[in-house]
Amino acid sequence: MKWFTRLKNNRFFQFIASVKMAVPLMVALALIVAVGTVIESRYNAQVAGLLVYRSGWFEWLLILLGVNVLASALIRFPYQQKHLGFVITHLGLVVLLIGAVMTSELGLDGSLRVVEGQQNHIVAVSEMSLKVADAQKGTVKSYLFKRSLEPLNGKQLGFDKLRKETGLVLDRFLPFVAREQSFASAPPEAVLTGAADAVIEFTLGSSTFGNAREWLHSKERPEAQIGPTLLKVVVDTGKTKPGKPVRKKIPMHSAESLIDQITTSAAAPAAVREGAEVVIRDAQGAELKRVALTSFRKKPVTINQVKISFSKVFEQALVVEGKLVDKGERGANPALEVKFEKGGKVTREFAFAKYPGFSMNQAGSAIGLRVDYVLPELGEVATAAMPQGHPAVGAAAPEPGHEGHDHGPTSQNAPNGESGRIEFHVLAGQNAHDDHDEKAGTPVRLEFYKGDKLLSKKNVRVGESTETPWMGMTLVVDSLIPNAVAVDQVRPVDMIPRGSLPDSAIYVRAEAGQAKEGVWLVEGDYKTLRSGDQSYELYYGVDSVELPFHIFLQKFEKVDYPGTETPMSFQSTVQVNGEGNPILIKMNEPLKVAGYTLYQSSYEIGNGPTASIFSVNKDPGRSVKYLGSLILCLGIVLFSIMKSEWFRNRQKTAKEGAR
């Protein structure tokens, strides 16, 4: 083995195998891990992973450490008895590193959400991906995307395979963005085909609570709620009567349906916002207590012998047929419903994040307390007095057995059994062109209702101010595009310490020469893009993996500590592929099937359907890491024994006896 002798005599190999390389490597790794710990405490584990633990240079340091350990063992070959402990210890380290690589490259760590009475097999993982569905071929291709904390452009992103297979180009990446949507006048062909929609922006104001500026879209956002007032846009195309917007039906075998089959149930949005707070004030507005909404949801608060408990959150609170319901558009009109309990009497109150001055009833004032709903993206919104004539809502809680998610203000409890509504009647399509005035613009007919009763109507143009029939409020139409098309935009934002990472976005366009424009995709978005004669449905978001089996959730159970809503234990009764004996998964008793381990990690209960959240883990390197640990322990024991004075004396005695 002359080549091995030459290798051992090589100065570079001797350096790789020496302590001179090992010590700086271990010091560097120790410092980097310390920095990673600080980053994780300042931001979160995801940021620490992107900056440190899953970075390319950190992986190279680990590879160098493995090379150093292996070389230091090889350079001592042929081995003597005194090398036994040293060599076995280093062998254990090498096996451990091999197991870690197997876990990193071949393992799975994700989340599986299963609704009670249903089954699922799609696991959401932390990696990002771009999915491209071809409706003609009935295929979905997935392109993994490694997230960065820095903006990337063009060739920095790579994705040559995407370009070759689809004719699409991934052009830009922004790590932190906020969604923005603007509208532009539609081209004539869009007006004729009915692809354009009406968009109106307005300001509703009062001297008592200030101004609130909102916008409405005839299809995507036909209604908005400002406090107790419902505002609605109604479009007259001259061809059909105004009606309710209908959600687009997706054909069973369309590209969007194909993507949906992969991404559905991969991850569900949280009902309670992270960072949201509940502020309890006295009648004068002084703050008495501030508590995180996540804690408030689990445990009620008692102040001045009044028990205040969580009931429900709304993303888009709207009064529909006298009831407060949630239309679901995130951030449109966030609200919180709570219950007050005092002396056996239960009342309820609604707090609006954007309009803390609005109280849907007089429950708070009657007991001397008020609740504010504070969201991190809105901050502290200035509070104002409730306008005179504000429509009240029945404060009595529903009778036992009649609780429902659509319970809310009823027309019987409102003054005169009515609530306020403003309708914007807009001419769209060819009608808008016929009635358009170059100087004054297209008119809007305002209709004011109290319940179903029309109080008044008036034609106004952009910039005109109109007094509403109630509450001393003023309405101004700020802008109007009768035939509009949406233009999606994104705005870069900064990362917030100790907060969740903002969504990232990518810009995808057709290859040069085939189309001039592309689309922005923010995490979770579906968009359509054409490349030549081919149409593609795009999805950008967390990647998903299909399990080789389905988990059917028969029943979820949660046991709370006595007198609290804090969970003492929770468990799920499941079946694999919906057959066989029921299996119980507890917090410390996972289910192992087909090489996968399912842990009971969380749950969703109280808002919407009951669901169980399982942490899914597959670690093909686990046995290798266990073996490496055993070898390492054995090597350390042998190394310690062979370095002990007892062993040296024993060796000395053996040598003397041999003489």
Integer Rg of the chain from CA: 32
pLDDT, position 423: 86
| Predicted pLDDT at 432 | 45
**Three-state secondary-structure class, residue 232:** strand
**Which of 322, 311, 391, 323 has the alpha carbon at shortest distance from 351?**
311
- Which of the pair, 651 or 351, is modelled with greater confidence? 351
Query: Using CA atoms, how far apart are residues 306 and 224, in angstroms rounded to an integer?
Result: 33
- Domain spans in the chain, listed from the N-terminal domain onward: 2-107+621-658, 108-123+545-618, 277-415
Of the pLDDT bands very low, low, confident and very high (cuts 50, 70, 90), residue 614 is very high
Instruction: Tell me the pLDDT tens digit for each residue of 6-42.
Output: 888 888 988 988 888 989 999 999 999 999 999 888 8
Find, among 228, 235, 242, the residue nearest to 450 by Cα: 228
Q: Which residues, 6 or more positions from 37, have their beta carbon under 8 angstroms from its beta carbon?
A: 48
pLDDT level of residue 275 (50, 70, 90 thresholds): confident
pLDDT tens per residue, range 459-476: 888 888 888 886 678 889
Residue type, 298: K
State the Cα–Cα distance between residues 483 and 492, nearest whole angstrom.
29
Q: Using CA atoms of 185, 187, 191, 193 in order, give the dihedral in degrees to the nearest 10.
A: -140
487 C-beta neighbours (distance < 10 Å), count: 12
Asked if residue 242 has a cis previous peptide bond (ω within 30° of 0), the answer is: no
Nearest Cα to Cα of residue 265 among 396, 373, 113? 113
- Give the CA-trace dihedral at 561, 562, 564, 566, to 10 degrees: 10
Examine the pLDDT at 158 and tell me if it is beyond 60. yes
pLDDT digits (tens, 9 = 90+) for 345-355: 878 788 888 87
Task: Say whether pLDDT at 339 is over 90.
Answer: no
The SS3 call for residue 158 is coil
Residue 285, token pair as written in the block: 């507005």
Q: Which residue has the higher pLDDT, 471 or 539?
A: 539
Contact 532, 510 (CB under 8 A): yes
Alpha-helical regions (H) of 327-473: 363-367, 430-434
pLDDT of residue 414: 35
Residues 184-240 pLDDT 10s: 776 665 555 555 578 888 888 876 556 778 888 887 788 887 766 788 888 875 544
**pLDDT for 156 beyond 50:** yes
Q: Which residue, 307, 322, 272, 308, is CA-closest to 292?
A: 272
Has residue 433 got a pLDDT over 80?
A: no
Q: What is the pLDDT of residue 468?
A: 84
What local confidence, expressed as pLDDT, does residue 657 receive?
A: 73
What is the distance between the alpha carbons of residues 238 and 355, in angstroms, rounded to a whole number?
A: 37
Tokens of residue 489, six digits: 């935009």
The answer to whether 485 and 195 have CB atoms below 8 angstroms apart is: yes
Quick one: tokens of 469? Answer: 């029939």
Average pLDDT, integer, range 448-454: 84
User: Is 531 a residue whose pLDDT tops 60?
Assistant: yes
Instruction: Write down the mean pLDDT value for the chain.
Output: 77
Strands 229-236 and 420-427: parallel
Whether residue 203 contacts residue 496, with contact meaning beta carbons closer than 8 Å, is answered with no
State yes or no: pLDDT of 536 exceeds 70: yes
Angle at 267 between CA 265 and CA 273, to 5 degrees: 130
Rounded-to-integer distance, Cα 271 and Cα 265, Å? 15
Query: What count of other Cβ atoms lies within 10 Å of the Cβ of residue 302?
Result: 13
User: Does 402 score more than 50 pLDDT?
Assistant: no
Weakest-pLDDT range from 539-543, 551-555, 588-592, 602-606: 602-606
pLDDT of residue 255: 45
**Can you read off the two tokens belonging to residue 104?**
């990193």
Among the listed residues 132, 192, 227, the one whose alpha carbon sits nearest the alpha carbon of residue 428: 192
Q: How confident is the model at residue 550 (pLDDT cuts 50, 70, 90)?
A: very high
The partner residues of 602 in beta bridges, in order of sequence, read 613
Q: How far apart are CA 219 and CA 426, in angstroms?
A: 13
Confidence at 358, pLDDT banded by 50, 70, 90: low
Between CA 375 and CA 499 the distance in angstroms is: 13
Q: Are 519 and 527 in contact (CB under 8 A)?
A: yes
Q: How is the chain split among helix, strand and coil, in percent rounded to 5?
A: 25, 40, 35
pLDDT value of residue 552 = 94
Q: Which of 253-262, 284-293, 369-378 has the lowest mean pLDDT?
A: 253-262
Contact (CB, 8 A) for 559 and 567:
yes
Residue 326 or 494, more confident:
494
pTM of the model: 0.55
Could you please report the per-residue DSSP string of 617-646?
Answer: EE-TTHHHHHHHHHHHHHHHHHHHHHHSHH
List helix spans (H) across 324-421: 363-367
433 vs 503, which has greater pLDDT? 503
DSSP strands (E only) in 31-161 = 108-115, 119-134, 139-145, 152-153
